[in-house]
Amino acid sequence: MKHDISSPEDVKTLVDAFYHGVKSDPVIGYIFNDVAQINWADHLPKMYSFWEFALLGTASYKGNPMMKHIALNAKETLTQEHFERWVALWEATTDQFFKGEIANRAKERGQLMKTVMLVKMNQINQT
């Protein structure tokens, strides 16, 4: 039976499974692997902290995701297709492992991040 996201371990399960799928995804995998050349040992703990803060109100995330994405966009234009794929993978992974109020919040936050990032990238790409 699926349960709601309720602990840092649940967040870690979600984030690990999500990025496992992202790495091999034909639409966005290359952005993480080839363009950003993500150091996963460094990146994943930051994502655990970010999502623990966003979903559980714990952890103290320190970072500026918008600035990271602006820098990435300078290397490779981030498009609506990229953000749509990101959120589709995020929602599918959330649904695969969890159900409940916080799981729904995870999906809502993913949609919100997609919208905010896409608006900002479109502004930058049009200038």
**Cβ atoms 49, 57 nearer than 8 A:** no
Say if pTM beats, i.e. exceeds, 0.85: yes
Res. 62 pLDDT band, cuts 50 70 90? confident
| pLDDT on residue 78 | 93
- Whether residue 2 is contained in a domain is answered as no
The domain that contains 111 carries what CATH number?
1.10.490.10
Average pLDDT, the chain: 94
Task: Output Rg (C-alpha) for the chain, integer angstroms.
Answer: 14
Q: Domain range holding 52?
A: 8-126
Per the structure, the count of domains in the chain is 1
> Residue 97: what residue type?
F
Provide the 8-state DSSP code for 57.
Answer: S
User: Over the stretch 78-116, which tens digit does the pLDDT of each residue have?
Assistant: 999 999 999 999 999 999 999 999 999 999 999 999 999
- Whether residue 114 is contained in a domain is answered as yes
CB atoms within 10 A of CB 22: 20
β-bridge partners, 3: 98
Provide the 8-state DSSP code for 27.
Answer: T
